Amino acid sequence: MPSAPSLGRFAWLSVAAAVVTITLKALAYHLTGSVGLLSDALESVVNLAAALFTLGMLTLAARPPDEEHAFGYGKAEYFASGAEGVLILVASAAIAWTAVHRLLAPQPIESAGAGLAISAVASVVNFAVARVLLRAGLRHHSIALEADAHHLMTDVWTSAGVVAAVAIVAITGWQVLDPIIAIAVAGQILRTGAKLVRRSMRGLLDPRLAADDLEALQRVLARHCDADVQFHAVRTRQAGARRFVAMHVLVPGDWTVRRGHALCEQLEVEVAAQIPNATVFTHLEAVDDPMSFRDQELDRAPSAGPGAS
């Protein structure tokens, strides 16, 4: 698993991008007086707070297991993505509140050309950083970096809408369009925040591995499943970037301990090779002992067959 500094540098990149875009968008708002651009600047403040929190949680998540946390600190990433979702929800409420006041009392937009140019530069910065974070998040299986990347991409698209609205207002003089677009931006931000919160809550409930990981696991088990070897009580879960796989390996009772142990070791190596950041636990049982089948349904719904997860 990547070390804290290796992922932390991506979080620092997000912090730097947030500082730059806040400065640019605040300047654009100062020049134009557009509430749409103000909403855009407020979201960048949220980006900064989220990036700083993500940095802290990535550092915590990378800590090795210890006596108190034997399975590591991987779930800390869910706190980062969840907190980011909550901050997005707060920002959407602030944007909507400001937009409604401007809708009731429209104000003209000034220096539209300069403001739009500055906002466009900020969007380019966000887009470039979002692409870097998304690639890093997918490569290192980091939900915190993925959440930060999706947040920045939302910022890019909402910025595009705001820029379009300001341009149309400058050309047509329809001042009411500016707060209307700001409200639409708030709605889009609300949707993104809710999705992040929901995904983070699901992660804290120990969901099973993704479909592609489960397929890779089944391929490994299928290579070893025959008349002598069976599997049941296959359980999987994910905690941030870490994956956990546990299974019962059933072999003939007359096998030696050495032979059974060698099979388990081989299974653990093969599964770990197919599923990134996986910790694999195997439990050896005798297939001809009725006691071996009494615990296969423990704490789980009945499975469709051997190897189901």
Say yes or no: 92 and 177 in one domain: yes
Judge whether residue 215 has pLDDT over 70: yes
Residue 222 lies in a domain: yes
Of residues 154 and 66, more confidence is placed in 66
Residue 309 lies in a domain: no
Task: Identify the top-confidence range among 38-42, 107-111, 158-162, 247-251.
Answer: 247-251
Residue 303 lies in a domain: no
Show contacts of 144-147: CB within 8 Å, 24+ apart. Answer: 144/11, 144/54, 144/57, 144/58, 144/61, 144/77, 144/80, 144/81, 144/240, 145/7, 145/10, 145/11, 145/54, 145/58, 146/81, 147/54, 147/80, 147/81, 147/84, 147/85, 147/196, 147/199, 147/200
Largest CA distance in the chain: 87
Question: Residue 51: which of 21, 28, 75, 95 has the closest Cα?
Answer: 21
Residue 244 lies in a domain: yes
Residue 104 lies in a domain: yes
Residue 243 lies in a domain: yes
pLDDT one-digit tens code per residue, 136-160: 887 877 878 887 887 787 777 777 7
Residue-wise burial string across 171-199, b where 16 or more C-beta atoms lie within 10 A, e elsewhere: eeeebebbbebbbbbbeebbebbeebbeb
Say yes or no: 160 and 284 in one domain: no
- Which of 204, 231, 261 terminates a domain? The answer is 204
Say yes or no: 162 and 280 in one domain: no
pLDDT at res. 292: 79
pLDDT one-digit tens code per residue, 120-129: 788 888 899 9
Residue 200 lies in a domain: yes
Cα(40)–Cα(162) distance, integer angstroms: 8
pLDDT at res. 3: 44
Say yes or no: 198 and 230 in one domain: no
pLDDT bin (cut points 50, 70, 90) of residue 197 is confident
pLDDT one-digit tens code per residue, 244-283: 999 999 999 999 999 999 999 999 999 999 998 889 999 9
Say yes or no: 261 and 134 in one domain: no
Q: How far is CA 268 from CA 132, 264, 271, 274, in A?
A: 33, 6, 5, 10
Question: Residue 132: which of 34, 220, 28, 7 has the closest Cα?
Answer: 7
Of residues 214 and 184, more confidence is placed in 214
Q: What is the pairing mode between strands 230-239 and 242-251? A: antiparallel
Of residues 23 and 218, more confidence is placed in 218
Say yes or no: 193 and 230 in one domain: no
Whichever domain contains 138, its CATH number is: 1.20.1510.10
Strand, coil or helix: 132? helix
Strand, coil or helix: 237? strand
- Which of 141, 172, 204 terminates a domain? The answer is 204
- Which of 204, 237, 254 terminates a domain? The answer is 204
Percent of the chain past pLDDT 90, that is, above it, reads 19
Whichever domain contains 281, its CATH number is: 3.30.70.1350
Say yes or no: 165 and 221 in one domain: no
pTM, full prediction:
0.63
Residue 306 lies in a domain: no
Say yes or no: 194 and 76 in one domain: yes
Say yes or no: 173 and 238 in one domain: no
pLDDT at res. 5: 47
Enclosing domain of residue 139: 4-204
Q: How far is CA 115 from CA 3, 125, 126, 249, in A?
A: 41, 16, 17, 65
Task: Please say whether the beta carbons of 242 and 279 come within 8 A.
Answer: yes
Task: Please say whether the beta carbons of 123 and 159 come within 8 A.
Answer: yes
Say yes or no: 16 and 111 in one domain: yes
